[in-house]
Chains A and B, each alone.
Chain A
Amino acid sequence: MRRLIEVWRSTVFQKWVMAVTGVMLGGFLLAHLAGNLLIFVGANDMNAYAVELRELLHGSAIWVLRAALVIGLVLHVRAGIVLAQRNRKASGGRYAVTSYQRSTPASRTMLLSGLLILSYVAYHLAHFTFGAVHAEYYHYFDAMGRHDVYRMVVESFRQPVITILYVVAIIVTGFHLQHAIASAFQTIGINHPRYSPVIRMSGTLLSILIVIGFISVPMAIIFGFVQ
């Protein structure tokens, strides 16, 4: 038992926690993106998807997924804060002159970008999941009596404030992912002179694709492709 506690507290294990929960959250992001893109298929499919998601396995699936996500999120944020505090203490007073060679603006601001994403997620859930903010868009129902997710999204993104906040949050997320994806591979021990440059490039490419995918929805609404 003492050994397990020691392992859990070690920096290397907390990095693993960071990487594994990060991959979980990234997987959720991809699934979320797939759901969002249904808006291009049509209102019926999107609203049907929303109902199915809530009723899958008699409504238990969504709670299992939500529990996993919340646990993953808590562990990810906790590891991030604990390690950042440790690092701040370890580095002490730093240099009068700094000259970075390999680190990137993304790698040096992971805590900041992460906390920005976290605060946006809270607002985003309050908006689209709980209807606690912008409630005027939440109570739409389609012809079949289903919650009209499609109309909620379309009407919401016609509001400039909502769209601007969303676009900024997605870009910050892309920035976070740009370092995160390659970093997760390194942390769990995947590093090879031949493949690591490919992994780093693919990570950046995937981050860009995720940003484009998410932003395409409000853009299509603003420019009238989706009515």
Chain B
Amino acid sequence: MNLRLHIWRQKEPGAQGMLKTYDVADVSEHMSFLEMLDVLNERLLENGEDPVAFEHDCREGICGTCGIVINGRPHGPVPKTTVCQLHMRSFHDGDSITIEPWRASAFPVVKDLVVDRSAFDRIVQKGGFVSVNTGNAPDGNAIPVPKVNADLAMDAASCIGCGACVAACPNASAMLFTAAKIGHLHSLPQGQTEKGARVYNMVLAMDDEGFGACTNHLECEAACPKGISALFIAKMNAEFVINSLL
């Protein structure tokens, strides 16, 4: 198939960027979206041009490194799929595709489609852990965890920190990410001891990074490649007020 791509090109942080148009011919429908960009980059290199910078690592949909906005949707049109697992069969011959980086003040563009997501790391550093020495892996079922809670923890823990929630949110809010990191630990017995400090510190860290506030559009839920529910945001809202004021 032949495609016309409109790709955001930006030389460096703070530089003026613009959408540039590229035609890519003979794209196989079996290629992943990133492989299609690889083909474009090979050609750009052959012509002595600067290749399009984009992030990727595992290309298995589990690491959270890749992430670009395709025709207005983070990770593209297929639900619960990272862009590395998005295949060109989801597109049609002659399609025009607009490719942009995550847009949020807290995620400044580094180059082209690469953004700096270290704001997420700083939020996790404020409480996305359990600070006890755990020693060896405990025996299975040594600490009883109700099945419902184990499932909740697993759902939240499936967050790969890709930032699609922020990219999708009209307010560039990081509440789904922060709520998933909090909800994961708060669903388990090990997370209870530091509950109050965790929710307080992580919410404040999230605000300090300059993310927006949630207005319950639920775009994050729709964009999340792991299908994490806004249920965790509701839980975080309740826990924040209960633990910060009482």
Contacts and interface: CB of A to CB of B under 8 A. Distances in A.
A101 B245 contact: no
B172 A96 contact: no
Nearest to B244: A7
Given A87-B212, A108-B217, A193 B231 contact: yes
Given A14-B213, A89-B105, A186-B233, A99 B207 contact: no
A14 B237 CA distance: 11
A108 B170 contact: yes
A13 B231 contact: no
A103 B235 contact: no
Interface residue SS majority, chain B: mixed
A12 interface: yes
B112 interface: no
B191 interface: no
A98 B70 CA distance: 9
A103 B238 contact: no
Contacts of A91: 103-105, 169-172, 212
Most B CB contacts (10 A, CB to CB) among A9, A102, A183, A192 go to A102
Given A10-B207, A86-B212, A187 B237 contact: yes
B103 A94 contact: yes
Interface string A82-102: 010011011111111111111
A15 interface: yes
Given A10-B204, A16-B237, A90 B211 contact: yes
A7 B245 contact: yes
Interface in A62-106: 83, 86-87, 89-104
Contacts of A145: none
B230 interface: yes
A110 interface: yes
Size range of the interface on B? 35 or more
A100 B8 CA distance: 20
Contacts of B214: 11, 15, 187
Given A91-B104, A91-B172, A188-B237, A98 B230 contact: no
A102 B105 CA distance: 23
Interface in B201-235: 203-204, 206-207, 210-219, 221-223, 229-231, 233-235
A87 B213 contact: yes
Contacts of A83: 212-213, 215
Interface string B53-78: 00000000000000001011100000
Nearest to A80: B215
A202 interface: no
Contacts of B173: 11, 87, 90
Contacts of B240: 10, 12-13
Contact of B100 (A13, A87, A96, A196): A96
A102 B165 CA distance: 12
Given A90-B105, A91-B170, A95-B100, A100 B207 contact: no
A191 B203 CA distance: 19
Nearest to A99: B72
23 contacts: A9-B207, A12-B237, A13-B241, A87-B171, A89-B105, A90-B212, A91-B104, A94-B170, A96-B6, A96-B98, A96-B100, A99-B71, A102-B219, A103-B217, A107-B215, A108-B170, A186-B234, A187-B216, A188-B234, A188-B238, A191-B234, A193-B229, A196-B231
